[in-house]
């Protein structure tokens, strides 16, 4: 009696709740296929429950047979519908069915229901009993029982087999319980009489409804919140400028949490391969593993630029395993490319263990949301790291440079365009006798005028021509050679001057000059005496000397004059190098004419052709006429000296606004290539093939170069042994008056 | 009358060989082995020309030359082994020497230079012009006298000759080379520092302010010009 009342109450409650949940689910998403099938199932449960309630209540209160019959018919319709629709729902849920299956199942449902409705309409009686306590007793026909059992057992088998695919244990348990309750009610009349089947199934239906509502409404709502949180965390990771490895770890952890994955790996793309850069819940030893593009799940994803899911790694993935022991340990995997600006920057791989859940489309959707954020974060971190590396490198380079500049004994000062000091090393500060940091001060406030370039106009000209301006200053009893150059060409940011202490060099140079002078003086006096006596001897012995004696005397004279030439050469060189030439306007054509006419005797006596060709009018050259004449005479005499009889020496000159070019071209013995670079060195004498007894000091060409250099000119040569030599001398034109 | 030449050189071999050559050429030669000895010989012998070595112990050639210039306008020829730079030569000329030769020198050239110097010194004022007088500067070409602000001043033969050449070309620029050729002789045409030294000496002697000359003006890199003045 009491049991019957409880059954009735439970039935009523179940009905109300199931109705409520039906509306909730339909309201949530009427287009979802599973929702529709579940609603159908719930509708059937409602019909069944209401039928049961009607029949039992009618029996209990002793109402007419019609009401009880109607209740039992409804119960039958609901029972059949619930069994079949549950099977269809389970099949849809586990993805077991094909299109035809669904059609066939629905057709079966329609047939069974139509039959029951037909029975209801035709009012053919349904056998039942009512006990003395008013409890309803009813049975099922054997074929119907078999039909129900087939559906219920199939459903149980289906969901158990595919239990991994069913989200939420409650749903799985509900379906199995529902089936169990129905089977029990079918098989045991006593349990049926007690209404246990209805009760268990009603509770199971409630569990299922709860699971569906949870999964369809609550979990997505929670998921949305977590997605937002994940996106926010990734955003934070970007803005907080974490290091790349920290950023990756953060992303991996968030992905793992979002997916409920057992492990997450993030690969970064480097050239043609992917390198494992971050792991979550995976062995850290995996870090650094490389997978070529196109291989493994991640390589394929990176190449196809599309996400992938694999339900069973061992069964479904035939390609190269992504990580060690992947086949043995991985269950389902999910992988998405991380794209930034249409470029794959990496790949994210989510992994479940062998017993873990499968990944579904929702997971893919989540990752697709996370992917771009992660890609931005990775790119950002990479840029940030690159920038930090660069700035570190710059800092290091700056420190090194500063250390060099600080430790050098050479004063270095840099100024900006406003002539303010932007750098002064300790040596410079010491030299300036500054007791405060001179940086920021105007140079004229801080540096004595005598330290600045004495010839400003020339300094600016040199700097304008992208050259270094060199000048000398005296400071604190020392002599400094200053090299002034522009900072950062082509647009001048300022200037830098580096000072070299040349005091000792100067002193050495002075000592050298002094020694040369003393030596020359000491040598010249005996030379004068010896030469004078030889001349006297030649005068006296003109008539009395034997040919041998004359020959000896002549040879002594030749050697003395050679010695004299060497001494003069050294002195000339010294004079040119130590003094600035006395500048006057020199007409090179006059000089060349005199030089050529002076050498013509020698050329004639050697049987050479000596020609002078001056093209047009030559500009005047600022210089020391004596020195220029000596330089050109040396070149012409050299040419004559090294050209064999029958040869030709041509002196050519041509000028333009910039200067005068003089070429001295001979058909002489030439200069070997290995000698050409040394020919201007002091005392260097090339090996001239086939030329013997050519007297000389080995100083002629070094004097020529010294003179040309002191006139800011240039000298060069072309030569081919056996063919001849051409010396080119260029001298700058004098600038106005 | 034999021309008397005094040779002062601390190197016996040099003064001996040079002396022998000059004697052969008909000069009367006196030799001195030091600066002091040379000065004494100058006063006792009254030579027509002095040849001076520069580097000598006790008293160097430059000092000897200055001492001689204090009392006489006798032509002095420096003969030195020391000359390295132009400054050395100018220093010698500034000391009052008329000529600066660098050792070693060929004996024939040595004799030729002596003769040229003597010719220059003996040159008589053959010009018919009376000279120049603006009240401050007065030049008497006949008597070879020069007065500045009423005071008679001493000019060496070379200085006088230089002044005369400039005066003859008054108002015109005389190029350096022309000046060298006319005053010193064609063989001096390249010794460009001679005019520079002599012009500055002349300016010191005749200009009211040697730093801002009004008579002898420099045409930069070309030559010199004598400008007559109306009222100084």
Q: Cα-flanking dihedrals φ and ψ of residue A497, to 5°?
A: -125, 130
Whole-structure pTM value: 0.47
- For the domain that residue B215 is a member of, what is the CATH number? 1.10.10.10
Distance from CA of A475 to the nearest CA of B (A): 26
Of A668 and A216, more confident: A668
Look up the ipTM and state it.
Answer: 0.71
Q: Cα-flanking dihedrals φ and ψ of residue A551, to 5°?
A: -60, -45
In a domain, B61, yes or no: yes
One domain, residues B93 and B164: no
The chain-wide mean pLDDT, for chain A, equals 82
In a domain, B54, yes or no: yes
Asked if residues B52 and B42 have their Cβ atoms less than 8 Å apart, the reply is no
* Residue B110 pLDDT exceeds 90: yes
Which strands make up the sheet holding B137-140, listed edge to edge? B131-133, B137-140, B145-148, B151-153
One domain, residues B112 and B209: no
Q: Give the CA distances from residue A154 to residues A173, A183, A205, A569, A616, in Å, rounded to whole numbers and listed in that order.
A: 15, 12, 18, 121, 118
d(CA B79, CA B17): 14
Q: Give the CA distances from residue A482 to residues A51, A120, A448, A533, A710, in Å, rounded to whole numbers and listed in that order.
A: 113, 119, 14, 52, 19
Query: Chain B partners of A536 at a C-beta cutoff of 8 Å?
Result: 17, 20-21, 107
* Residue A737 pLDDT exceeds 60: no
* Residue B128 pLDDT exceeds 50: no
Of A715 and B91, more confident: A715
In a domain, B60, yes or no: yes
pLDDT band of A533, cuts 50, 70, 90: very high
Of A546 and A516, more confident: A546
d(CA B86, CA A575): 8
One domain, residues B144 and B187: yes
* Residue A732 pLDDT exceeds 60: yes
Average pLDDT over residues B120-140: 71
Q: Is A182 helix (H, G, I), strand (E, B) or coil?
A: helix
Nearest by Cα to A610 from A630, A586, A637, A629: A637
Name beta bridge partners: A479. Answer: A474
pLDDT band of A397, cuts 50, 70, 90: very high
One domain, residues B93 and B29: yes
- For the domain that residue B105 is a member of, what is the CATH number? 3.40.50.2300
Of B67 and A696, more confident: B67
* Residue A141 pLDDT exceeds 80: no
Query: Chain A partners of B192 at a C-beta cutoff of 8 Å?
Result: 582, 584, 625-626
Average pLDDT over residues A464-489: 84
One domain, residues B140 and B97: no
* Residue B196 pLDDT exceeds 80: yes
Distance from CA of A681 to the nearest CA of B (A): 21
Name beta bridge partners: A654. Answer: A615, A661
The chain-wide mean pLDDT, for chain B, equals 85
Q: Please name the member of B11, B81, B104 whose beta carbon is closest to the beta carbon of A531.
A: B104
* Residue B83 pLDDT exceeds 50: yes
pLDDT digits (tens, 9 = 90+) for A268-282: 998 889 999 999 999
pLDDT digits (tens, 9 = 90+) for B30-64: 999 999 999 999 999 999 999 999 888 889 999 99
pLDDT digits (tens, 9 = 90+) for A6-63: 766 777 777 677 777 777 777 777 777 777 788 888 888 888 878 887 887 787 777 7
Distance from CA of B172 to the nearest CA of A (A): 19
- Print the domain residue range for B187: 131-226
Average pLDDT over residues B150-156: 83
d(CA A460, CA A708): 23
d(CA A679, CA A383): 57
Q: List the single range of A17-31, A230-244, A359-373 with lowest mean pLDDT.
A: A230-244
Average pLDDT over residues A274-296: 91
In a domain, B12, yes or no: yes
Q: Please name the member of B18, B55, B84 whose beta carbon is closest to the beta carbon of A575.
A: B84
Choosing from B98, B121, B144, the residue where a domain stops is B121
pLDDT digits (tens, 9 = 90+) for A565-574: 888 888 778 7
In a domain, B232, yes or no: no
Question: Hunting for tokens 């008497």 — which residue is that?
Answer: B140
Question: For residues A496-514, b (16+ Cβ closer than 10 Å) or e, as one string?
Answer: bbbbbbbeeeeeeeeeebe
pLDDT digits (tens, 9 = 90+) for A677-689: 778 877 666 655 5
Q: Please name the member of B21, B87, B176 whose beta carbon is closest to the beta carbon of A532.
A: B21
* Residue A401 pLDDT exceeds 90: no
Average pLDDT over residues A245-256: 84
In a domain, B88, yes or no: yes
Whether the CB of B51 is below 8 Å from some CB of chain A: the reply is: no
* Residue B12 pLDDT exceeds 90: yes
* Residue B192 pLDDT exceeds 90: no
d(CA B38, CA B41): 5
How, if at all, do strands B145-148 and A421-424 pair? unpaired
d(CA A499, CA A472): 9
One domain, residues B8 and B117: yes
Q: Give the CA distances from residue A270 to residues A251, A292, A372, in Å, rounded to whole numbers and listed in that order.
A: 19, 10, 18
Q: Please name the member of A528, A536, A539 whose beta carbon is closest to the beta carbon of B103.
A: A528
- Token pair of A541 as six digits: 């012995």
Tallying the residues shown for chain B, one arrives at 232
In a domain, B43, yes or no: yes
Question: For residues A547-567, b (16+ Cβ closer than 10 Å) or e, as one string?
Answer: eeeeeeeeeebeebbebbebb
Average pLDDT over residues B186-196: 79
Report how far apart the first and last C-alpha atoms of chain B are (Å, whole number).
45
Task: Quote the pLDDT of residue A582.
Answer: 65
Question: For residues B78-112, b (16+ Cβ closer than 10 Å) or e, as one string?
Answer: bbbbbbbbbebbbbbbbbbbbbbbbbbbebeebbe
One domain, residues B13 and B117: yes
One domain, residues B57 and B76: yes
Angle between helices A99-122 and A65-94 (to 10 degrees): 180
User: A172: buried, middle or exposed (CB in 10 Å: 19+, 13-18, 0-12)?
Assistant: buried
pLDDT band of A694, cuts 50, 70, 90: low
Query: Chain B partners of A584 at a C-beta cutoff of 8 Å?
Result: 176, 192, 221
- Angle ∠(B91,B94,B99) on CA atoms, nearest 5: 90
One domain, residues B67 and B98: yes
Element (H, E) at A375: helix A361-407
Nearest by Cα to B33 from B49, B5, B53, B18: B53
Interface of B with A in 77-106 (CB under 8 A): 81-82, 84-87, 103-106
One domain, residues B104 and B166: no
Verify whether the Cβ–Cβ distance B21 to A527 is below 8 Å: no
Task: Quote the pLDDT of residue A459.
Answer: 84
Task: Quote the pLDDT of residue B125.
Answer: 45
- Token pair of A445 as six digits: 């406030």
- In this structure, the number of other CB atoms found within 10 A of the CB of residue A433 comes to 9
Query: Chain A partners of B85 at a C-beta cutoff of 8 Å?
Result: 575, 578-579
Name beta bridge partners: A308. Answer: A335
Asked if residues A170 and A207 have their Cβ atoms less than 8 Å apart, the reply is yes
Distance from CA of B105 to the nearest CA of A (A): 7
Choosing from B94, B121, B148, the residue where a domain stops is B121
- In this structure, the number of other CB atoms found within 10 A of the CB of residue A704 comes to 23
Pick the most confident of A75-79, A97-101, A123-127, A304-308: A304-308
Of A497 and A190, more confident: A497
* Residue B127 pLDDT exceeds 60: no
Whether the CB of A539 is below 8 Å from some CB of chain B: the reply is: yes
Domain count within chain B:
2
Choosing from B80, B98, B121, the residue where a domain stops is B121
* Residue A692 pLDDT exceeds 60: no
Verify whether the Cβ–Cβ distance B84 to A517 is below 8 Å: yes
Torsional sign, CA B103, B106, B108, B109? negative
One domain, residues B115 and B143: no
How, if at all, do strands B4-8 and B28-32 pair? parallel
* Residue B229 pLDDT exceeds 80: yes
In a domain, B108, yes or no: yes
Give alpha helix (H) positions in A244-312. 244-259, 296-304
One domain, residues B68 and B115: yes
């Amino acid at each position: 009696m009491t049991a019957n009342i409880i059954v009735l109450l439970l039935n009523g409650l179940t009905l109300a709740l199931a109705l409520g949940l039906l509306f909730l689910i339909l309201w949530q998403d009427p287009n979802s296929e599973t929702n529709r099938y579940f609603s159908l199932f719930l509708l059937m449960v409602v019909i069944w429950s209401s039928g049961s309630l009607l029949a039992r209540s009618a029996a209990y209160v002793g109402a007419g047979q019609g009401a009880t019959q109607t209740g039992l018919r409804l119960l039958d319709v609901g029972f059949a519908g619930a069994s079949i629709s549950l099977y269809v729902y389970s099949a849809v849920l586990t993805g077991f069915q094909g299109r035809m299956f669904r059609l066939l199942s629905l057709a079966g449902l329609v047939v069974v229901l139509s039959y029951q409705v037909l029975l209801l309409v035709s009012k053919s009686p349904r056998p039942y009993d009512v006990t003395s306590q008013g409890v309803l007793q009813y049975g099922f026909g054997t074929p119907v029982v078999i039909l129900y059992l087939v559906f219920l057992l199939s459903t149980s088998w289906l969901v158990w087999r595919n239990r991994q695919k069913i989200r939420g244990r409650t749903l799985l348990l509900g379906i199995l319980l529902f089936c169990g309750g129905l089977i029990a009610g079918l098989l045991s009349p006593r349990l049926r009489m007690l209404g246990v089947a209805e009760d268990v199934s009603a509770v199971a239906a409630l569990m299922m409804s709860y699971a569906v509502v949870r999964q369809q409404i609550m979990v997505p709502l929670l998921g949305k919140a977590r997605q937002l949180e994940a996106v926010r965390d990734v955003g934070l990771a970007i803005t907080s400028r974490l290091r790349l490895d920290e950023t990756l770890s953060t992303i991996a952890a968030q992905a793992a949490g979002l997916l409920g994955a057992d492990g997450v790996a993030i690969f970064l793309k480097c050239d043609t391969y992917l390198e494992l850069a971050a792991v979550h819940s995976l062995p850290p030893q995996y870090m650094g593993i490389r997978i070529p593009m196109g291989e493994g799940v991640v390589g394929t994803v990176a190449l196809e630029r599309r996400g992938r899911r694999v339900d069973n790694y061992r069964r479904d993935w035939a390609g190269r395993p992504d990580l060690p022991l992947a086949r043995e340990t991985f269950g389902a995997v999910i992988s998405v490319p991380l794209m930034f600006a249409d470029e794959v920057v990496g790949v994210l791989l989510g992994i479940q263990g062998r017993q873990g859940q499968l990944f579904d489309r929702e997971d893919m959707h989540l990752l697709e949301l996370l992917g771009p954020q992660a890609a931005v974060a990775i790119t950002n971190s990479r840029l940030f790291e690159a920038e930090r590396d660069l700035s570190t490198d710059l800092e290091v380079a700056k420190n090194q440079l500063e250390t060099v500049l600080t430790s050098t004994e050479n004063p270095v000062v840099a100024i900006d365009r406003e002539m303010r000091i932007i750098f002064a090393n300790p040596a410079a500060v010491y030299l300036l006798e500054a007791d405060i940091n001179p940086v920021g001060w105007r140079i004229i406030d801080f540096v004595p005028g005598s330290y600045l370039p004495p010839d400003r106009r020339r300094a600016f000209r040199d700097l304008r021509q992208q050259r270094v301006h060199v000048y000398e200053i005296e400071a604190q009893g020392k002599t400094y050679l200053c090299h002034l150059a522009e900072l950062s060409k082509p647009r001048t940011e300022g200037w830098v001057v580096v000072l070299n202490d040349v005091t000792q060099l100067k002193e050495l140079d002075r000592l050298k000059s002094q020694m040369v002078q003393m030596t020359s003086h000491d040598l010249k006096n005996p030379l004068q005496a010896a030469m004078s006596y030889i001349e006297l001897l030649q005068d006296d012995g003109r008539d009395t000397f034997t040919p041998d004696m004359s020959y000896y005397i002549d040879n002594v004279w030749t050697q003395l004059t050679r010695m004299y030439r060497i001494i003069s050469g050294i002195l000339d060189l010294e004079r040119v190098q130590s003094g600035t030439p006395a500048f006057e306007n020199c007409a090179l054509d006059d000089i060349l004419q005199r030089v050529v006419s002076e050498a013509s005797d020698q050329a004639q006596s050697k049987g050479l052709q000596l020609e002078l060709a001056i093209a047009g009018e030559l500009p005047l050259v600022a210089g020391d006429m004596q020195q220029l004449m000596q330089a050109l005479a040396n070149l012409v005499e050299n040419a004559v000296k090294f050209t064999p009889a029958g040869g030709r020496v041509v002196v050519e000159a041509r000028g333009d606004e910039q200067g005068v070019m003089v070429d001295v071209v001979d058909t002489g013995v030439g200069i070997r290539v290995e000698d050409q670079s040394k020919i201007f060195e002091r005392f260097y004498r090339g090996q001239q093939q086939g030329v013997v007894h050519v007297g000389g000091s080995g100083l002629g060409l070094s004097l020529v170069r010294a003179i040309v250099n002191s006139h800011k000119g240039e000298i060069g040569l072309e030569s081919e042994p056996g063919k001849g030599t051409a010396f080119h001398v260029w001298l700058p034109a004098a600038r106005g008056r | 009358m034999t021309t008397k030449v005094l040779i002062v050189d601390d190197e016996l071999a040099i003064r001996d060989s040079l002396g022998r050559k000059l004697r052969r050429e008909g000069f009367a030669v006196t030799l001195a082995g030091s600066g002091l000895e040379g000065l004494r010989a100058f006063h006792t012998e009254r030579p027509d020309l002095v040849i001076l070595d520069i580097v000598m112990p006790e008293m160097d050639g430059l000092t000897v030359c200055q001492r001689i210039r204090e009392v006489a306008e006798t032509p002095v020829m420096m003969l030195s082994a020391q000359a390295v730079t132009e400054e050395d030569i100018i220093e010698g000329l500034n000391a009052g020497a008329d000529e600066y030769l660098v050792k070693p020198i060929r004996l024939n050239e040595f004799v030729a230079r002596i003769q040229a110097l003597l010719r220059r010194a003996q040159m008589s004022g053959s010009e018919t012009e009376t000279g120049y007088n603006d009240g401050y500067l007065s030049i008497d070409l006949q008597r070879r006298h020069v007065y500045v602000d009423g005071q008679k001043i001493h000019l060496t033969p070379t200085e006088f000759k230089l002044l005369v050449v400039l005066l003859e070309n008054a108002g015109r620029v005389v190029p350096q080379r022309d000046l060298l050729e006319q005053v010193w002789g064609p063989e001096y045409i390249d010794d460009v520092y001679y005019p520079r030294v002599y012009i500055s000496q002349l300016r010191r002697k005749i200009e009211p302010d040697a730093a801002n000359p009004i008579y002898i003006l420099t045409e930069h890199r070309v030559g010199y010009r004598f400008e007559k003045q109306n009222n100084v």
